[in-house]
Each structure stands twice: as C-alpha cells, then as structure tokens.
Amino acid sequence: MPIATPKQYAAMLDAAQAGHYAYPAINVTSLPTLNGALKAFAESKSDGIIQVSTGGGQFASGTAVKDMALGAVVLAEAAHRLAERYDVLIGLHTDHCQADKVGKFLEPLLEATAARRRAGLGNLFQSHMLDASELPLKENMRLSAELLKKCADLEIILEVEAGVVGGEEDGHDTSGVAAEKLYTTPEDMVEVYESLKGLGRYMFAATFGNVHGTYKPGAVKLRPDILKHGQEAVMARYGASAEFDLVFHGGSGTPLEEIRETLAYGVVKMNIDTDTQYAFTRPIADHLFRNYDGVLKVDGEVGDKKAYDPRVYLKKAEQGLCERMKQACDDLLSTGRTLFGTV
C-alpha cells in the first residue's frame, strides 16, 4: 500500500532528517491535481506528501455542499485507491487549519481515521496541521498540546506553527501582520519544545520571513539562519534528540540556494502550492488561446468538441503540474530516494 502506514511515514521523516533532504508537500483540490502529483512522485522515484487545505476540501465537496471535511475525506479516499498503482510511498496531510476551524475540519477528520481503525483499515491521513499562530504563543501551545495528544492516540503526526507566514492563502490573509511576527525566535522554539515534549510526534513550521505566494526578487527577506539558531538553542538545552522536524511554508518562488540552505537546518517538508497552481493553469490558458474558435461557438458556428472537451486541456494541466513537482523533488533532493519496499 503506497499510502504510508504510520510506521512508514515516521521512517520517511527520519530518512529525510538524516539525509538532509525534504519532501515536496503539494496541495490538491481535484482528481487531476491529485493524479499529477502521484505521477510526479512516481517518475521522480521520490516519496512525497499530498495535502488538502480547508479551502481545498470545501472546493472538492462541490459548490452546493461546501463541506471542507467531507471534501478532504473524498480526496483522501481517492488517494488511497489511486496510490495503489504507484511504487512510491505517499503521506496524506491537511494544511493550515486555523483554531476556529478545528471543530469543523480537524476533529471530523480525526474521527474518520478512528472509524477506519475500528474497521481494521489504515489511517485516512498520516498528519494534520494546526495553524494557531495568530494566538499568543502560550494559548497556541495549549491548543497544540490538546490536539497532539488526540493525534498521538491515532498514530497521527501533528504539524504546529509558531510565528506567522505572511501573505494570503485560502482566504486567510496575514499580509498586515507586524514584520517581527514573520520570524520565530530561538526563545519561541524552546517554548514550543518544552510545551510539546513527550506528548507525541510533531512537525514544526517555524517562520523565517516566508510568505505564501510568489513575489519579485528582493520583495521577501528570508532568513534561514533563524532555523539554525533555533535548533541550536533547543539542542544545547535538551540534547541532539530534541532536533525539530521543520516545515518550510511558502516555498513557491524561493531561490534554490535558500531552499538548499534550509535542508541543512532540519527542514523535512516544504509546502508548494502557488507554483503548482500556475503550472496547472498555464497549459489550460495556452490551449484556450490556441483553440479559441474551437472552444467557443463563435459567430453562430458549432465549435470543436475535441477542443472544448475538458479532458483535453485537463490532461495538459495535469502534466504541467507533474513537471513542476518533479522540479520540486530535484530541488529538495528527494529524487531517487524512495523507501518503497524497504520499510
């Protein structure tokens, strides 16, 4: 089963940490985006992480339903079936659940996994993200600790965040936050460790100026050394075993040298969404412009069904996303390092 078991998912993260590489984590919203991601990981011989956001789940449930948890379940169930055809390991994850959405997103998904386990099936998701970064750190960690205990009981890894990722994603806009909140301090990182120690396994999205979306060169001031200093502060006090499994949010558009620098500081997962959205949409736009008279019934003509059949341009979109994800595997040095068949 290429959807990783909890043991296999933990082994994936351990291997990335030890080998100084990371997994691309792509947000999917549909079967074409899911299939493009699976194809990319398989062709790269890279394990990987596929994730669903609250907005992605809502979209996948349909405009008449708009149920973020239901849509996430639908995409995850599809991934379990489709991934059986590929020889790589895939972890399923949920992205950026704010504190006020826990009751309608994370808790139903935890119950969905609990129901599967009672039926003798594997976990629906292998990890979830709580984004309580807008709360004061102590309140953030209190909620994180409560959810981490629940996740640990189900062999699920929780991703937490301290500091704020700038920009806008799925209608959650943090572009107006104070600049200092974009940088997690070493003291914050120590507090995160002390708050969650011994409660279960987790990943930590520490922020170092990263921003959702893509920007022109020089517009975003990344400071990857913040991750280094934070890791050093925690390990100086609690030993090498305290090293965080770090997550890089806002990876789209980041220069390669800055991506690679973060790998040396313990980043094992990098989210990529904006770049893959563009890579998916660009071939569609190209198809529509090149086949204008066929896609549209211009001046009373009948158009060309072979041009406006959605399967024609969605296959091109799937391939465009696939190619961008293969580049991400290369950038993060996960290409050729699948653990499939070994764990």
DSSP 210: -
In angstroms, how far is CA 297 from the centroid of its own chain? 40
Largest distance between two CA atoms of the chain: 75
Cα–Cα nearest to 90, from 5, 152, 160, 20: 5
**Alpha helices (H) along 127-224:** 137-153, 186-196
CA–CA separation, 276 vs 280, rounded Å?
Answer: 6
Helix (H) or strand (E) holding 127: strand 127-131
Determine the 3-state secondary structure of 211 from DSSP.
strand
User: Which amino acid type is present at position 122?
Assistant: G
CA–CA separation, 110 vs 81, rounded Å?
Answer: 20
Dihedral of alpha carbons 98, 81, 270, 254, sign? negative
Catalytic annotation, pick one of 95, 131, 188, 273: 95
Cα–Cα nearest to 134, from 167, 179, 181: 181
CA–CA separation, 47 vs 116, rounded Å?
Answer: 23
The two tokens of residue 252 are 């789209």
Determine the 3-state secondary structure of 14 from DSSP.
helix
Integer Rg of the chain from CA: 20
Nearest 5°: the CA angle 165, 207, 111 is 70
The two tokens of residue 36 are 């493009």
Which residues neighbour 179 within 8 Å (Cβ) at sequence distance 6 or greater? none
131 in catalytic set: no
Q: Which residue has the tokens 């220069």?
A: 255
Q: Which residue has the tokens 């991400």?
A: 328
Task: Name 92's bridge partners.
Answer: 50
Task: Please give the positions annotated as active site.
Answer: 95
